[in-house]
């Protein structure tokens, strides 16, 4: 069966390459540039011969230059917000939406969601893929879906209590905000599971969310360019995210050289979509840093698993020659009893000598002596995990703004 699934994936790969060669001039030109044709690709081992696709390719062909089907076949658009200028537009045919629904439903099933669950979706609905992606997957499983969307936090809590929400889906930052609000109220909730994603988060934050909300918190992975949520999902064994491998091929590359890393090493995740009709992507550079995990998951499923995303390569700070990801700072702060999970980073200095400033919030106001002790402990934990000295600034409880969506961890860089 395993061999059959593999040959099935490789057939899909050959069809994909032929399809983009025939229908997308941009891909054809890039393949011609490196002297490769569909005849050169027969198995996943040939993937390296194909050129990468990047976010710039999507921007440069805005809005529809990478479409591989006629416009009549498009039934939905989504877009991811661009930090500057135009957003990245993604398109779906009816089959693409069906695939997305199926992949998302499988992810939720893997997480332990059943038709008896009440699923509150507090991801944004709209151009962002989070809300609608989770929505159709949960509906397909037969769950009762509450399409709450993001924000209106008091109403979120009311719905949770009154409708008996058992599964909460949102960003981990927003889950943290809701959990803090809940701690001040006496609500009888039926919450048992959190499906959290759309931003990298640490084991420390998982522990905090699990304790505060009395749930199992699982990581879901996806990105709108590839489809949306549903690309990979943790199972309750929490041994990495199982990839939806009927639909995607993955590689891990060195982000600097573009070469594959050694087996099991960390690098940038590259995804090839096997089945997408409207916007197939070949070797798409996600900029997410992870690795492929060895061995089998305790759940017994032998599908490919990726480690939780350490961070995005464009969020990686290089401080005096050392690579630093916000999730590492989060881990170090989380190990320091007395600090909350709220923090942000700033980089000052000059290109040759950068300083990392960490702003971290205390759980409660302390005497000057106790604050000094806490600070020394936190600096030591940060040094152990990051390998560099940082400037730490402790802030009073509640002083860092809470996020209803993705949290902005890096406030300023050089
Ligand atoms: Zn598993």
Domains by residue range for the chain, with CATH: 93-310 (3.40.50.12780), 316-412 (3.30.300.30)
pLDDT of residue 82: 64
- Kindly give the distance from the C-alpha atom of residue 113 to the centroid of ligand 1, in angstroms, as a whole number: 14
How far is the centre of ligand 1, averaged over its atoms, from the C-alpha of 122 (Å)? 25
Q: Which two tokens stand for residue 265?
A: 């090493």
CA of 175 to the centre of ligand 1 (A): 23
Look at residue 165 in the predicted model and tell me its pLDDT.
98
One digit per residue, the tens of pLDDT, for the chain of length 414 reads 468 888 899 999 999 999 999 999 999 999 999 999 999 999 999 999 999 999 999 999 999 899 999 999 999 999 987 656 778 999 999 999 999 999 999 999 999 999 999 999 999 999 999 999 999 999 999 999 999 999 999 999 999 999 999 999 999 999 999 999 999 888 889 999 999 999 999 999 999 999 999 999 999 999 999 999 999 999 999 999 999 999 999 999 999 999 999 999 999 999 999 999 999 999 999 999 999 999 999 999 999 999 999 999 888 999 988 999 999 999 999 999 999 999 999 999 988 899 999 999 999 999 999 999 999 999 999 999 999 999 999 999 999 999 999 889 999 887
> How far is Cα 66 from Cα 220, in angstroms, rounded to an integer?
27
pLDDT, residue 2, reads: 65
Alpha-carbon span 267 to 192, nearest angstrom: 33
Distance 408 CA to ligand 1 centre (A): 30
Q: Output the CA 219–ligand 1 centroid distance in Å.
A: 12
d(CA 333, CA 341): 7
Q: Say if CB 278 and CB 67 are below 8 A apart.
A: yes
Q: Judge whether 230 and 243 are in contact, CB under 8 Å.
A: no
Could you tell me the distance, in angstroms and rounded to a whole number, from the CA of residue 165 to the centre of ligand 1?
25
Q: State the distance from the centre of ligand 1 to the C-alpha of 105, rounded, in angstroms.
A: 16
Ligand 1 centroid, distance to 367 Cα (angstroms) = 46
Q: How far is the CA of 308 from the centre of ligand 1 (A)?
A: 13
| Contact between residue 107 and residue 227 where contact means Cβ atoms under 8 Å apart | no
Distance 240 CA to ligand 1 centre (A): 7
| 84 within 8 A of 108, measured Cβ to Cβ | no
Taking the centre of ligand 1 as the mean of its atom positions, its distance from the CA of residue 159, in whole angstroms, is: 31
User: What's the 108 CA to ligand 1 centre distance in angstroms?
Assistant: 12
pTM of the model: 0.94
Q: How far is the CA of 299 from the centre of ligand 1 (A)?
A: 4
Distance 239 CA to ligand 1 centre (A): 6
Q: Which residue in 104, 94, 163, 160 sits closest to 136, CA to CA?
A: 104
Query: What is the 111 CA–ligand 1 centroid distance (Å)?
Result: 9
Residue written as token pair 């492929």: 292
CA of 356 relative to ligand 1 center, distance in Å:
37
Give the separation between CA 144 and CA 147, rounded to whole angstroms: 10
Q: How far is the CA of 298 from the centre of ligand 1 (A)?
A: 6
Give Cα separations from 87 to 84, 224, 251, 314, 354 (angstroms).
Answer: 8, 11, 26, 17, 31
Sheet bearing 284-290, strands edge to edge: 248-253, 267-273, 284-290, 311-312
CA of 215 to the centre of ligand 1 (A): 18
- Ligand 1 center–CA 232 separation, angstroms: 11
Helix (H/G/I), strand (E/B), else coil: 314? helix
305 CA distance to ligand 1 middle (Å): 8
How many angstroms separate the alpha carbon of residue 188 from the centre of ligand 1? 31
């Amino acid at each position: 069966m395993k061999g059959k699934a593999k040959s099935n994936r490789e057939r899909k790969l050959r069809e994909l390459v032929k399809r983009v060669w025939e229908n997308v001039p941009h891909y054809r030109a890039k393949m011609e540039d490196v002297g490769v044709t569909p005849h050169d690709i027969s198995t996943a081992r040939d993937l390296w011969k194909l050129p990468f696709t990047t976010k710039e390719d999507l921007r440069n062909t805005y809005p529809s230059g990478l479409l591989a089907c006629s416009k009549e076949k498009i039934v939905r658009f989504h877009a991811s917000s661009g930090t500057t200028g135009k957003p990245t537009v993604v398109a779906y045919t009816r089959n693409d939406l069906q695939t997305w629904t199926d992949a998302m439903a499988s992810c939720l099933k893997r997480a332990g969601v059943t038709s008896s669950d009440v699923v509150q979706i507090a991801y944004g609905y709209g151009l962002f893929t989070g809300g609608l992606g989770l929505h159709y997957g949960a509906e397909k499983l037969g769950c009762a879906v509450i399409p709450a969307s993001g924000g209106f936090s008091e109403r979120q809590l009311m719905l949770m209590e009154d409708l008996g929400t058992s599964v909460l889906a949102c960003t981990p930052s927003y889950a943290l905000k809701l959990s803090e609000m809940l701690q001040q109220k006496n609500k009888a909730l039926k919450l048992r599971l959190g499906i959290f994603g759309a931003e990298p988060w640490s084991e420390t934050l998982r522990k905090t969310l699990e304790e505060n909300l009395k749930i199992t918190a699982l990581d879901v992975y996806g990105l709108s360019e590839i489809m949306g949520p549903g690309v990979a999902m943790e199972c309750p064994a929490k041994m990495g995210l199982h990839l939806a491998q009927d639909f995607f091929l993955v590689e891990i590359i060195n982000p600097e050289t573009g070469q594959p890393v050694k087996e099991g090493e960390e690098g940038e995740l590259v995804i090839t979509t096997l089945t997408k009709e409207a916007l197939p992507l070949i070797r798409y550079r996600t900029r997410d840093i992870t690795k492929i995990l060895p061995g089998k998951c305790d759940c017994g499923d032998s599908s490919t698993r990726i480690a939780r995303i350490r961070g995005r390569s464009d969020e990686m700070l290089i401080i005096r020659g050392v690579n630093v990801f916000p999730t590492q700072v989060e881990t170090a702060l989380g190990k320091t009893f007395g600090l909350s999970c709220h923090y942000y980073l700033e980089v000052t200095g000059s290109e040759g000598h950068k300083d990392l400033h960490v702003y971290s919030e205390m759980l409660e106001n302390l005497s000057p002596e106790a604050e000094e002790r806490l600070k020394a402990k936190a600096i030591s934990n940060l040094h152990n995990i990051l390998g560099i000295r940082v400037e730490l600034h402790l802030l009073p409880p509640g002083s860092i703004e809470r996020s209803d969506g993705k949290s902005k961890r890096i406030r300023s860089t050089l």
